């Protein structure tokens, strides 16, 4: 089954014309001059979001030329420590915007433009929106070089195509880009869920894993399921392209019950405003415990995703005693490669082997209402609709810590945690911050707002929190040179900066008393200055670097070097 047929199939199921989902196939060239091999696909399941583009492998190296895919104008340039790192946004006349992320550096004319702004603001991190037509580009023009900046975990190009009007990202592979893929998606796990009161599945009233085997025709056949009441299914799976071992996301999932489509969704497009609802598409409790994402074929409460083409009873199956059902999960990649998983279901009332009750606590969250709780040394406030569903929340208070449930329930909105610090002196408060403890009780800094006798943080992460104290300033060390060294043939200076507790807040550097731009790479704890930025007209140069952590501890390092 080819891509054309799959798109036609999806269009037919959506009940709309082909014209409405036609994307220009010849308008854009590839952003790189190498074969497109993907490390990540559009719509792939990530932490708290869907992947909004494709990740193109850059042969495990940086510095490959990145090209404008069409004529256009730069509408946004951003340089940040996390996220997309160095990123360009290019608007094209046909109504689309292309995005290029994790760049090593920009082309000379763009680099000159952005460095003027960085030096003007005396900041490495900047975001600018050039006037339309101020920086014009031609199709095929080199606009940057590929890199590993921001939240990237390895060299690659993050590439998107969005609507310039709605800003909704769409799958870049729908624009005619070819990626070799003749490999069917892979299913590694199947799960069944009793969803209604008194429902059961395989003599259990809780989630059950279901075994399956591969058939001679390549399809998968699950062991027979006995059930009664309303149930649903979910799977763990991935897709691989032909030239890469990466476990990427699948494109579409269709659930058919006795020949009728009960649910059908795909990753043609989505809205950034809804991306966090990914936590309702997956079994978040399972993910929190096992770090494995089960994709549900049914729609859970609080799910406002627009990716669904069709839903019958929210994809939930009502099983009646004495009746038989054939459930098919049809899992496609964008090229139309299909994996079919068949699940035979028999309606049967059986004694429960596992009768699990929902753990109850003294505190209950009503998701649609605001909720306040007093934990002694701290108070927690959940605005209305922080959570997707009502649940019993586990709150515990200790002498120095508070436990706000666990990581198996997702929060859609920020909630507020406020600590009383009245027992601490003014000097102690300066070095204190709110920290979240990991499973090994190691503290990590959370943004702490200090006001009088209270410290407050806003977060979406449930877990254990405490007040931590940081008394040690950051460290600063030269990396590629030494004090009083001759650097005549050097092209750059590199230093290592680090903080072992609250983390680095700000850094700055001067050369012979003038501010200089030092590029910060948090993944490597390095700051780097390029000699091309400023002409050094002195033989003896003095570099002064100042680094401050998140509670205000400061360290300054001064070093002298020589150049001819």
Confidence grade of residue 21 (pLDDT, cut at 50, 70, 90): low
330 Cβ contact partners less than 8 Å away, ≥ 6 residues apart: 253, 254, 255, 256, 338, 339, 340
Is residue 178 classed exposed, middle or buried when 0-12, 13-18 and 19+ CB atoms within 10 A define those classes? exposed
Instruction: Provide the mean pLDDT of the chain.
Output: 94
Q: Indicate the helix (H) or strand (E) that contains 172.
A: none
Q: Indicate the helix (H) or strand (E) that contains 112.
A: helix 108-121
Residues 289-323: pLDDT tens digits? Answer: 999 999 999 999 999 999 999 999 999 999 999 99
> Is residue 359 pLDDT above 50, yes or no?
yes
The pLDDT of residue 432: 97
**Quick one: DSSP state of residue 175?**
G
Judged by DSSP in three states, 195 sits in: coil
Residue 493 contacts residue 534 (beta carbons within 8 Å): no
Q: What is the mean pLDDT of residues 136-148?
A: 98
- The share of the chain scoring above pLDDT 90, in percent, equals 91
Q: What is the mean pLDDT of residues 100-127?
A: 97
The structure tokens listed for 303 are: 């799910």
> Is residue 160 pLDDT above 90, yes or no?
yes
> Is residue 6 pLDDT above 90, yes or no?
no
Q: What is the mean pLDDT of residues 186-202?
A: 96
Cα–Cα distance measured from residue 216 to residue 227, given in angstroms and rounded to the nearest whole number: 27
> Is residue 405 pLDDT above 60, yes or no?
yes
> Is residue 336 pLDDT above 70, yes or no?
yes
Cα–Cα distance measured from residue 137 to residue 122, given in angstroms and rounded to the nearest whole number: 27
Question: Is the torsion defined by CA of 199, 204, 209, 211 positive or negative?
Answer: negative
Q: With b meaning 16 or more CB within 10 Å and e meaning fewer, what string describes 126-158?
A: eeeebeeeebebeeebebbbbbbbbebeebbbb
Q: What is the mean pLDDT of residues 387-407?
A: 95
Q: What is the mean pLDDT of residues 14-19?
A: 34
The pLDDT of residue 538: 80
Q: CB-hemisphere CA count at 13 Å for 481?
A: 22
Q: Which long-range contacts (C-beta less than 8 Å, at least 24 apart) are formed by 42-45?
A: 42/169, 42/170, 42/171, 42/172, 42/173, 42/249, 42/267, 43/171, 43/249, 43/251, 43/266, 43/267, 43/270, 43/307, 44/248, 44/249, 45/249, 45/278, 45/281, 45/282, 45/293, 45/295
The pLDDT of residue 306: 95
> Is residue 11 pLDDT above 50, yes or no?
no
Does residue 444 or residue 18 have the better pLDDT?
Answer: 444
The pLDDT of residue 399: 86
Residues 530-545: pLDDT tens digits? Answer: 988 765 678 899 999 9
Q: What is the mean pLDDT of residues 442-449?
A: 96
Cα–Cα distance measured from residue 247 to residue 45, given in angstroms and rounded to the nearest whole number: 11
The pLDDT of residue 563: 87
The structure tokens listed for 185 are: 């998606």
The pLDDT of residue 290: 95
Q: What is the mean pLDDT of residues 231-254?
A: 96
> Is residue 10 pLDDT above 50, yes or no?
no
The pLDDT of residue 7: 44
Q: What is the mean pLDDT of residues 377-396?
A: 97
Angle ∠(387,393,395) on CA atoms, nearest 5: 125
> Is residue 20 pLDDT above 70, yes or no?
no
Q: What is the mean pLDDT of residues 259-266?
A: 98
Model confidence, pTM: 0.92
The pLDDT of residue 357: 77
The structure tokens listed for 324 are: 């038989």
> Is residue 15 pLDDT above 60, yes or no?
no
> Is residue 16 pLDDT above 80, yes or no?
no
């Amino acid at each position: 089954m080819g891509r054309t047929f799959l798109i036609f199939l999806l269009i037919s199921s959506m009940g709309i014309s082909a014209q409405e989902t036609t994307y220009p196939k010849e308008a854009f060239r590839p952003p790189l001059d190498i074969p497109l091999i993907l490390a990540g696909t559009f719509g792939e399941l990530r932490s708290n979001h869907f992947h909004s583009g494709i990740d193109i492998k850059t042969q495990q190296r940086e510095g490959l030329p990145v090209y404008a895919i069409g004529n256009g104008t730069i509408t946004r340039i951003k340089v940040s420590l996390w996220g997309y790192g160095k990123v360009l946004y290019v608007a094209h006349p046909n109504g689309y915007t292309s995005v290029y992320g994790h760049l090593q550096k920009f082309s000379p004319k763009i680099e000159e433009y952005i460095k003027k702004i960085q030096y003007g603001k005396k900041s490495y991190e900047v975001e600018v929106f050039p006037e339309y037509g101020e920086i014009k580009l031609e199709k095929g023009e080199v606009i940057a070089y590929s890199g590993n900046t921001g939240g990237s975990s390895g060299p690659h190009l993050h590439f998107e195509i969005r609507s310039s009007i709605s800003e909704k990202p769409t799958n870049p592979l729908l624009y005619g880009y070819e990626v070799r893929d003749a490999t069917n998606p892979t299913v590694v796990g199947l799960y069944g869920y009793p969803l209604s009161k008194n429902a059961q599945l395989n003599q259990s009233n809780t989630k059950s894993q279901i075994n399956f085997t591969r058939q001679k025709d390549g399809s998968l056949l699950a062991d027979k399921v006995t059930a009664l009441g309303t149930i649903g299914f979910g799977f763990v799976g991935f897709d691989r392209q032909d030239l890469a071992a990466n476990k990427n996301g699948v494109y579409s999932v269709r659930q058919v019950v006795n020949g009728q489509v009960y649910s059908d969704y795909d990753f043609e497009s989505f809205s950034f405003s809804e991306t966090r609802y990914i936590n309702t598409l997956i079994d978040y409790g399972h993910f929190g415990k096992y770090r494995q994402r089960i994709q549900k074929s049914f729609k859970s409460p609080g799910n406002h995703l627009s990716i669904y083409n069709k839903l019958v009873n929210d994809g939930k199956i009502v099983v009646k005693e004495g009746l038989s059902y054939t459930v098919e999960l049809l899992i496609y990649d964008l090229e139309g490669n299909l994996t079919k998983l068949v699940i035979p279901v028999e309606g049967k009332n059986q004694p429960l082997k596992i009768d699990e009750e929902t753990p109850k606590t003294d505190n209950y969250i009503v998701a649609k209402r605001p909720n306040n709780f007093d934990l002694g040394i701290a108070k927690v406030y959940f605005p209305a609709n922080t959570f997707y569903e009502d649940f019993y929340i586990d709150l515990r208070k200790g002498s120095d810590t508070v436990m706000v449930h666990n990581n198996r329930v997702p929060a859609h909105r920020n909630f507020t945690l406020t600590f009383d610090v009245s027992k601490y002196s003014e000097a102690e408060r300066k070095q204190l911050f709110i920290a979240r403890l990991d499973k090994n009780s190691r503290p990590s800094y959370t943004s702490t707002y200090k006001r009088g006798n209270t410290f407050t943080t806003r977060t979406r992460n449930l877990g254990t929190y405490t007040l931590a104290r940081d008394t040690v300033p950051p460290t600063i060390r030269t990396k590629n040179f030494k004090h009083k060294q001759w650097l005549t043939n050097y092209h750059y200076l590199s230093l290592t900066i680090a903080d072992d507790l609250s983390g680095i807040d700000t850094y700055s550097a001067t050369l012979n008393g003038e501010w200089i731009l030092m590029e910060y790479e948090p993944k490597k704890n390095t700051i780097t200055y390029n000699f091309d930025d400023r002409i050094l007209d002195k033989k003896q140069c003095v570099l002064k670097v100042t680094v401050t952590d998140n509670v205000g501890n400061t360290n300054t390092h001064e070093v002298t070097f020589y150049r001819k």
